[in-house]
Amino acid sequence: MPYFHIFLYILIFCVLVHICPIHTLNIFKNDENEKGSLNIPLGKENNLFFNEIKLENRFKNNIKGYIQNVQKFHYLMEKNKPNVLSYIQEDLLNFHNSQFIADIGVGNPPQVFKVVFDTGSSNLAIPSTKCIK
């Protein structure tokens, strides 16, 4: 029977801790003695509305870019230009099964660039004198 009182006290304590809001102490305040140290509390953002808007806009922008790319590709197909969409076999240098490197020529007359082929991206960046720093 004496253990029943201890169990009851522990149960009441757990209920009070669960129900009562726990206030933070002064641990998040700036320590005046240590210059340059600032403790910042972390909190969870509960505003899901803005997150949904960001995702929706991101989806719209991706669809808009996709449609523009399809229209450009369709334009090239309609023009029937030779060598615009031709298939070229390129020898790739396998670097430790992590990178594939090859030389490509761009432009007329062709300027040769050494390119690292990345399977995670479909974009190709080419250096230019018109790049702005």
Render pLDDT for 20-49 as a digit per residue (tens, 0 to 9). Answer: 544 444 444 444 555 555 455 544 444 444
Selected residue with higher pLDDT from 85 and 63 = 63
| Residue 74 structural domain | 51-80
99 part of a folded domain = yes
Strand ranges in the chain using DSSP code E only, listed in sequence order: 93-95, 99-106, 111-117
Structural domain tally of the chain? 2
For 71-110, write each residue's pLDDT tens digit: 766 666 666 555 545 555 666 666 666 677 778 887 788 8
70 part of a folded domain = yes
Strand-pair partners of 102: 115
| Contact of 91 with 102, CB cutoff 8 Å | yes
> Model pTM?
0.26
Q: What is the pLDDT of residue 19?
A: 55
CA 29/CA 41 separation, integer angstroms: 9
Question: Among 64, 80, 96, where does a domain finish?
Answer: 80
| Listed range (21-25, 64-68, 88-92, 114-118) with the worst mean pLDDT | 21-25
Residue with tokens 């197909």: 77
| 75 and 97 both lie in a single domain | no
29 part of a folded domain = no
24 part of a folded domain = no
26 part of a folded domain = no
